[in-house]
Amino acid sequence: MSNTRTWLVANWKMHGLASEAADYAFRVNQALGQAPSNIAMVFCPPSILIPAAVHALPGNARLGIGAQNCHAAEKGAFTGEISAPMLADAKVGYVILGHSERRALCHETCAQVRAKADAALAAGLTPILCVGETRDEREAGKTQTVLEKQMQAFAGLDAGAILIAYEPVWAIGSGHTPTTKEIAAAHSTIKSALGSDGVVLYGGSVKSTNLREILDTPGVSGALIGAASLDAGGMETMLSIAAEKGNER
Ligand code: PGA
């Protein structure tokens, strides 16, 4: 992935209905059309809303569509699961994998996240791979070790074909964010594992009031946004902040 671009990824988690996803995709894509070409945006609604979002977009849309998970197998007896080829068939270009909510609630391991990343890449999707430490791990001074261990699972992947999202677990949905110095240090650890060409986004309580300073932090190529991404108006504001940055380049 190009790290001369600024990325905004909207993670709707389990929110929204089809009509809302369609309106949002249409509106945000229009706003993205006004932004410099080095701004990239991906909308990740719940899987069942993906067709509505895709159908709302014009043929020349710049907005990418992402899923929030996939299975590692191409097909099989896995009730309730969705495979990477199915996502690609639905015109999905990206998939968030290893989000801490799934690592915690669904007990996803690093090895399982890697297997899903391999499946996504094989299907032509760009995985957005999430890593990050818990509050306890940070307070015990283990942030770097945890990030290195999580990044080991992605060893050998083509850094140009993936996006990494640094999401401290304690910052997600909490209203708390690390200092920009802490974000820069974490991104530097991740980049050492990934290679300097890698793209690393920051996620965890990003909103329009802190986006600018986060995007200005060394090593940060964009943001993965949860709660604050739900509202199209808020997303338009964040796109205009990213666009200012894009214009400076
Ligand atoms: P948040 O979520 O922006 O609501 O903290 C981010 C995420 O979980 O990806």
* Two tokens, residue 65: 């569509």
So which residues are the catalytic ones? Answer: 99, 167
| Residue-wise pLDDT tens digits, 157-210 | 999 999 999 999 999 999 999 999 999 999 999 999 998 778 999 999 999 999
pTM for the full model?
Answer: 0.96
- Which atom of ligand 1 lies nearest, measured to the CA of 227? 4
- pLDDT level of residue 3 (50, 70, 90 thresholds): low
Ligand 1 pocket, CB under 6 A: 11, 167, 172-173, 203-206, 224-228
